[in-house]
Structure 1
Amino acid sequence: MISIKKIGKLKITAIALLILGTTTIIKNSHANESASSLLSKSSNQSDPQIITSTQGMVVSSQHLATAVGVEILKQGGNAVDAAVGVGYALAVVDPCCGNIGGGGFMVINQADGEEIFLNFRETAPLQATADMYVGKSEEASQQGYLSVAIPGTVKGLEYALANFGSLPRNKVMEGAIALAEEGYILKAGDIEILQQSKKKFADDPEIASIFKNNNQDYQIGDRLIQEDLANTLKQISLKGESVFYQGAIAQKLVQASQENGGIFTKEDFTNYQIEAKPPLSCTYRDYEILTTPPPGGGSTLCQMLSILEGYPQSREKSTQQIHRRLAAMLFAYRDRNKYLGDPNFVSVPVDKLIAKEYGAELRSQIGDRAIEPKTVGFHTTEPEGQNTTHYSVIDRWGNAVAVTYTINSYFGAGVVAPETGIILNNEMDDFTTIAGKPNQFGLIQGNANRIEPQKRPASSMTPAIVKKNDQVTMVTGSPGGSTIPTTVLNVILGVIDEGKNINQAVNTPKIHYQGQPNVVLSEPSALTKEQVKELTAMGYKIMPFRQWGAAESLAVEKNGFVGGQDLRRPAGSAQGF
């Protein structure tokens, strides 16, 4: 386990991984080009890979899942129908990150103006306690059944479909079922993911039986068929959420947990509920942002925007403007780490954090030099894993959906309950597992996020819908652990302040700063050599890092929809019709 005190001695990639968790560059649909080369090309083009449509659009990190969503739209489904179909499809074709064994957030803006936030984040089991990992191995909260929280994805997707969809469940799920039952051809990026995760497959024969080919490694061109997952999806298609939370699937999950050191009970599943409420709303210049209330990262995004709104709008990124953006990030992450938690268990002063007056107060403290994190009462951060995925959807009627969901680490807890094909999350590590002790990312978490039964862990996930004059202009979000709010910030500022189109904003190299570790992550070409020199003189520690996040986004323009596919995950695509 890595201590914060040792950060100064760590190599660049090790420090960055404290912030990002495990990062992976997927190489798939863009032949053999790396994400880095694609980004380099896009930064030299005025309009990289522009995809437009007039009847609907889906953008995700896996092109097969994107195609499932577009087909649903073509069949007359609305954006929620497509979002549900994509969610199930990603569980098949993006198994490291897409899921039905995890949880997440969904923001919906209906064409009639109704705005909805769905919280289907996982919850701690009823038998969970604040000290349940004391005296256990460091992997207890990260690997195996004791690390698994109660999944919420199926309940969330089914609630969305029942309340806001228009097509029957079997039509929405048929694409995902076909991909699981008939399989799909593995590309270079798929193999890379499997190779990086071989250690996870070693401890659980069920997950190994899926992602090993007769005990051998899969090769490029092999077909991956997931029969158990196909059967699970068929059961959900026929019976809905009840089979997952009260029926045969729940029984299998509980049995597997109890036989392998976990603490699941059937009551954990029958008691699980999602939350449906209005999204968090804040403004920036003439725009409204709809995003996640606690325990999500929306308040962090809104606080940064509130601080930066007081500065003049400019298309140029001067060193001074970058400094101001970094200071805004620092203040917002300080408050995130101090206050953020499940609002059903702790008080989170959201109204204060996103208030314009508070933004002005913080802005007045930004001078000409870097602010030392310790001088503003900074605490350490608590990011979830990088192995999350985001997708954006809009339909011909103007209904828009932003979804970010996760299983935390790569392939979650590394376990699959027999006969289910469901990869289970390790979200318990997102809680404060042991007071004062770093989690798997080397970071210490706060008391507001301590483990309690049925509590949801704090999250940085920040799906967002941007509106102007009550009309949707942008749908965005990203994976990336604690970097998610700053990734979304960079996209929004890129469009609104810097005049970029959505594809340019998504693929522009970006920066991230959260105060602990006290380094500024910088993607290649995000800063000029002169800016690095000037920022260093101001007191910042600049750390070059290859790339992170995948802000699969879209924009609404005068003549239709424009896709913003993030080239950091080349397997993805923006598709419309």
Structure 2
Amino acid sequence: SEALAGSMARFVSGRASQYEATVAAFTNNGASYVAGDTWRQPDLGRTLERIRDDRSDGFYRGTTARLIAAEMRRGNGLITEEDLYRYEARERTPITGTYRGYEVISMPPPSSGGVAIVTALNILEEFDLSSMGHNSAQYLHHLAEAMRRAFRDRATHLADADFVDVPTQHLTSKDYAAWLRRDLDPERASVSHPSDVDQPYESPETTHYSVVDADGMAVSVTYTLESGYGSGIVVPSGGFLLNNEMGDFNAGPGLTNTSGLIGTEPNLARPQQRMLSSMSPSIVAHDGDLVAVVGSPGGRTIINTTLQIILNMVDFGMNIQEAVNAPRMHHQWLPDRIRLEGDAVVQDVVQALEALGHTVQMGGRQGSANSIGVNPLSGERMGAPDPRSADSGAVGASVSRVRR
């Protein structure tokens, strides 16, 4: 597509230009690809064949591991073949919650997404959001206050549960949400008090896709290299990019950023610890029937994008495409401001939010939530590509009822 060709051309002419293997992988014999070209990646193909034949050993051991370790040595990196050999994927119990009779299933720590979404939903469940009107000042005020509290807990508590005692049951409980609601003033914005909590930058360059098969089995997948094109470094003869995910850790103990903020203890970098993320691949069900498969890229906005799609469907009766298309907002505790997409609200709503004490920032787009909705009565599936992304799309067909 034109969008992908343009992105690749900018990448290879910029920070990737210093890496020979990257330029070779992302150009057509040194020339930029254009829309309509066929992009061939033989090195990546061979890596995928090794994974196909040897499963995880095809990546973490043998040829691929040696290629990674060699590139690490060349660039004075830290990862060794022994590190790769010892790496194990963790199978974790999903975060689950309920909202107005719907079940929400999402990603557990080290992602903060599931906990933050369920926390916000629990806070909002006691309010009649539909009567406020979608994207009214009162609705956006309540939404911002729920987000503020969920993100405060994200910064304070969430990290890799293999290294930190994360109180997920407490944070996602209805009783705790009631406690968080106690000081939510419908007529006045709360204040996010600055503290010693540092929230490192999260790139919006993440990928999400949603799948439902003929048997009703659903998969919600979010993955990331952190920045767009990760580190910019392609492993020679491997054909794949290395990530730059270390940026998702907080600063080391005693180290400060340019604002003087000190990294919190839970998400400090440690050997073998996985960094905190905002990925929020989620599945929504009702009475055991699949209703939606949702998620998005967007750094910390991932959480609030996914949250709003769920609210749009449950509280405002939107179908999945309407829920995805609807304008979005974001609040993440610090900085203490509401960010609205450029076409989200009229000026009167902005003025009403400011009168409540909110700082409002307009502009930009939020997320790319390629999602699927399922009619629980007919089983019909609707793919909902997000119009915010030039290359979003849906592939599939209506099929028989989704079985439980």
What is the TM-score normalised by the length of structure 2?
Answer: 0.92
- 1:461 equivalenced with 2:276 (yes/no): no
Following the alignment from structure 2 to structure 1, what is the Cα–Cα distance between the partners of residues 255 and 313?
Answer: 40
Letter paired with 1:237: R
Q: Residue 194 of structure 1 corresponds to which residue in structure 2?
A: 8
Q: Residue 561 of structure 1 corresponds to which residue in structure 2?
A: 381
Q: Residue 83 of structure 2 corresponds to which residue in structure 1?
A: 268
Q: Residue 71 of structure 2 corresponds to which residue in structure 1?
A: 256
- 1:446 equivalenced with 2:261 (yes/no): no
Q: Residue 308 of structure 1 corresponds to which residue in structure 2?
A: 124
- SS of equivalent to 2:14: helix
Across the aligned residues of Structure 1 and Structure 2, the Cα RMSD in angstroms comes to: 2.0
- 1:575 equivalenced with 2:395 (yes/no): yes
* Aligned mate of 1:342, from 126, 145, 160: 160
Following the alignment from structure 1 to structure 2, what is the Cα–Cα distance between the partners of residues 443 and 512?
Answer: 22
- Cα 1:442/1:511, change in 2 over 3 Å: farther
1:506-542 CA-to-partner distances (Å, cap 9, x unmatched) read 1101000112222211112212211101101112111
Following the alignment from structure 2 to structure 1, what is the Cα–Cα distance between the partners of residues 166 and 142?
Answer: 25
Following the alignment from structure 2 to structure 1, what is the Cα–Cα distance between the partners of residues 68 and 101?
Answer: 48
* Aligned mate of 2:190, from 371, 374, 396: 371
Letter paired with 2:190: I
Letter paired with 2:149: F
- SS of equivalent to 2:361: strand
Following the alignment from structure 1 to structure 2, what is the Cα–Cα distance between the partners of residues 220 and 443?
Answer: 45
Residue 369 of structure 1 and its aligned partner are, at CA, apart by: 1.2
Q: Which moved more, 1:311-320 or 1:558-567?
A: 311-320
Following the alignment from structure 1 to structure 2, what is the Cα–Cα distance between the partners of residues 277 and 379?
Answer: 27
Whether the 8 Å contact between 2:189 and 2:357 is mirrored in structure 1 is yes
- SS of equivalent to 1:207: helix
Whether the 8 Å contact between 2:196 and 2:263 is mirrored in structure 1 is no
Q: Residue 173 of structure 2 corresponds to which residue in structure 1?
A: 355
- 1:298 equivalenced with 2:114 (yes/no): yes
- SS of equivalent to 1:209: helix
Q: Residue 324 of structure 2 corresponds to which residue in structure 1?
A: 506
Residue 383 of structure 1 and its aligned partner are, at CA, apart by: 4.8
- SS of equivalent to 1:392: strand
Whether the 8 Å contact between 1:245 and 1:269 is mirrored in structure 2 is yes
Following the alignment from structure 1 to structure 2, what is the Cα–Cα distance between the partners of residues 324 and 254?
Answer: 50
Whether the 8 Å contact between 1:382 and 1:482 is mirrored in structure 2 is no
- SS of equivalent to 2:321: helix
1:216-264 CA-to-partner distances (Å, cap 9, x unmatched) read 4333333321121112112222222212111111111111111210111
Q: Residue 491 of structure 1 corresponds to which residue in structure 2?
A: 309
1:160-182 CA-to-partner distances (Å, cap 9, x unmatched) read xxxxxxxxxxxxxxxxxxxxxxx
Following the alignment from structure 1 to structure 2, what is the Cα–Cα distance between the partners of residues 261 and 274?
Answer: 26
- SS of equivalent to 1:490: helix
1:51-91 CA-to-partner distances (Å, cap 9, x unmatched) read xxxxxxxxxxxxxxxxxxxxxxxxxxxxxxxxxxxxxxxxx
Residue 484 of structure 1 and its aligned partner are, at CA, apart by: 0.8
Following the alignment from structure 1 to structure 2, what is the Cα–Cα distance between the partners of residues 321 and 305?
Answer: 13
Q: Residue 205 of structure 1 corresponds to which residue in structure 2?
A: 20
Following the alignment from structure 2 to structure 1, what is the Cα–Cα distance between the partners of residues 74 and 152?
Answer: 41
Q: Residue 474 of structure 1 corresponds to which residue in structure 2?
A: 292
1:335-366 CA-to-partner distances (Å, cap 9, x unmatched) read 10011110111111111111111111111211
Whether the 8 Å contact between 1:383 and 1:459 is mirrored in structure 2 is no
Please list every run of 5 or more consecutive structure 2 residues that lacks an aligned counterpart in the other structure: 398-404
* Aligned mate of 1:330, from 148, 152, 156: 148
* Aligned mate of 2:222, from 401, 404, 428: 404
- Cα 1:220/1:565, change in 2 over 3 Å: closer
Following the alignment from structure 1 to structure 2, what is the Cα–Cα distance between the partners of residues 445 and 324?
Answer: 29
Residue 382 of structure 1 and its aligned partner are, at CA, apart by: 3.4
Residue 327 of structure 1 and its aligned partner are, at CA, apart by: 0.4
Letter paired with 2:296: S
- 1:282 equivalenced with 2:102 (yes/no): no
Letter paired with 1:575: V
Following the alignment from structure 1 to structure 2, what is the Cα–Cα distance between the partners of residues 386 and 574?
Answer: 21
**Aligned residues, how many?**
389
1:169-212 CA-to-partner distances (Å, cap 9, x unmatched) read xxxxxxxxxxxxxxxxxx21012212432322122111011123
- Cα 1:380/1:371, change in 2 over 3 Å: farther
Following the alignment from structure 2 to structure 1, what is the Cα–Cα distance between the partners of residues 2 and 382?
Answer: 28
Q: Which has the higher contact order (CA 8 A, sep 6+)?
A: 1
* Aligned mate of 1:515, from 318, 333, 336: 333
- Cα 1:381/1:205, change in 2 over 3 Å: same
Whether the 8 Å contact between 1:334 and 1:378 is mirrored in structure 2 is no
1:70-123 CA-to-partner distances (Å, cap 9, x unmatched) read xxxxxxxxxxxxxxxxxxxxxxxxxxxxxxxxxxxxxxxxxxxxxxxxxxxxxx
- Cα 1:356/1:512, change in 2 over 3 Å: same
- 1:232 equivalenced with 2:232 (yes/no): no
Q: Residue 400 of structure 2 corresponds to which residue in structure 1?
A: none
Residue 445 of structure 1 and its aligned partner are, at CA, apart by: 4.1
Following the alignment from structure 1 to structure 2, what is the Cα–Cα distance between the partners of residues 459 and 424?
Answer: 17
Residue 469 of structure 1 and its aligned partner are, at CA, apart by: 0.8
Letter paired with 1:268: D
- 1:539 equivalenced with 2:357 (yes/no): yes
1:519-566 CA-to-partner distances (Å, cap 9, x unmatched) read 211112212211101101112111112202111111110221111111
Q: Residue 244 of structure 1 corresponds to which residue in structure 2?
A: 59
Residue 378 of structure 1 and its aligned partner are, at CA, apart by: 8.1
What percentage of aligned pairs have identical amino acids?
36
- Cα 1:209/1:444, change in 2 over 3 Å: farther
1:264-309 CA-to-partner distances (Å, cap 9, x unmatched) read 1112111111111321111111011111111112101111001000
- Cα 1:356/1:340, change in 2 over 3 Å: same
Q: Residue 421 of structure 1 corresponds to which residue in structure 2?
A: 239
Following the alignment from structure 2 to structure 1, what is the Cα–Cα distance between the partners of residues 84 and 255?
Answer: 31
Following the alignment from structure 2 to structure 1, what is the Cα–Cα distance between the partners of residues 91 and 34?
Answer: 43
- Cα 1:348/1:381, change in 2 over 3 Å: same
